[in-house]
Structure 1
C-alpha cells in the first residue's frame, strides 16, 4: 500500500514546475530581455539633448522593430518644435524642459526626426 504522500508526489512536482514557470515569465518580460514572450513589445527609449546647436548623441540611425513602441525625449536650450516625419508627430520644445513623443512604429522605412525652426537633424529612425 502506498502512502498518501507518495500518491501526491507527482501532483506536487507538477504544481512546483508550474509555479516556477509563472515566476520566470514576468521577470523575463519586465526586464525587456531577448527571452521575453513572443508578441511582447518593449519600449525603445531615445534621449537627445540640444545645447548650443549641438546634438547629443550625434545624429545617427536608430533601428526599431515594426510594431515596437518608440519614446523620444528631447531636452533643448531653445524654444523649437520637435517633429517625427512620416508619423506626423510633433511636440513643442521649451528651454530646459524635456518634451516627449511616443508612438507605435507601425510603418517600415527611414524617418527623419528633427527640429523645425533650427533645422537640426536629431536622428533617423529605421523601422523594419
Structure 2
C-alpha cells in the first residue's frame, strides 16, 4: 500500500470524489431530461360557475415546479388528476397546490363540487 503525505491524501480523495460524481451523477436523477427551472404559476378564478381564464391546455416541462392558485366564490375542491393532489377552497380564499411536474402526459385539473374543468396540464 502506498502512503500519501497529508496534503496529497486530500487531493487524492478529492479526485476520487469528483470521478464518482462524474460517473454516477447523471444517472442519480432517474431521468435523461434536463431539469426545468423556475416555477410555472397558474392562476384561476371561478365566479358564478364561470372559469377565468377560459379552460385551455397549459404546457410545462417535465421537472418544472408548478403552482396552481385558485379562488372561487363558493366552497369547492380543486383536484389535479394523475398526481392525486387536491386543495379545499373556501369562498373568496385562494387555495394553492405546489408540485413538481415529474410525469409526462395530459392531466385534467377540475373542481369536484361544481364539476368544472379549470384546464388541462400537458407535461413534456
Question: Same fold judged by TM-score > 0.5?
Answer: yes
| Residue 79 (structure 2) pairs with residue 79 (structure 1) | no
Unaligned runs of 5+ in 2: 1-33
Q: What's 1:107 paired with? A: 103
- Structure 1 stretches of 4+ moved >4 Å: none
Mapped to 1, the partners of 2:71 and 2:50 lie a distance apart of: 12
Equivalent residues, number: 91
What whole-Å deviation, never above 9, does each CA across 1:12-32 have from its counterpart, x for those lacking one? xxxxxxxxxxxxxxxxxxxxx
Instruction: Indicate if the aligned counterparts of 2:87 and 2:96 stay in contact, CA closer than 8 A.
Output: yes
Q: Which residue of 2 is the match for residue 59 of structure 1?
A: 55
1:90 to 72, 79, 86: 86
Output the CA distance in 2 between the equivalents of 1:69 and 1:114: 19
Contact 2:36 2:62 in 1 (8 A): no
- The answer to whether the Cα contact below 8 Å between 2:36 and 2:61 also exists between their aligned partners in 1 is no
- Alpha-carbon offset, residue 39 of structure 1: 4.5
What's the TM-score once normalised by structure 2's chain length? 0.71
Distance between the aligned counterparts of 1:39 and 1:126, measured in 2? Answer: 16
| Partner Cα distance (2:95, 2:43) in 1 | 10
Return the TM-score normalized by structure 1: 0.69
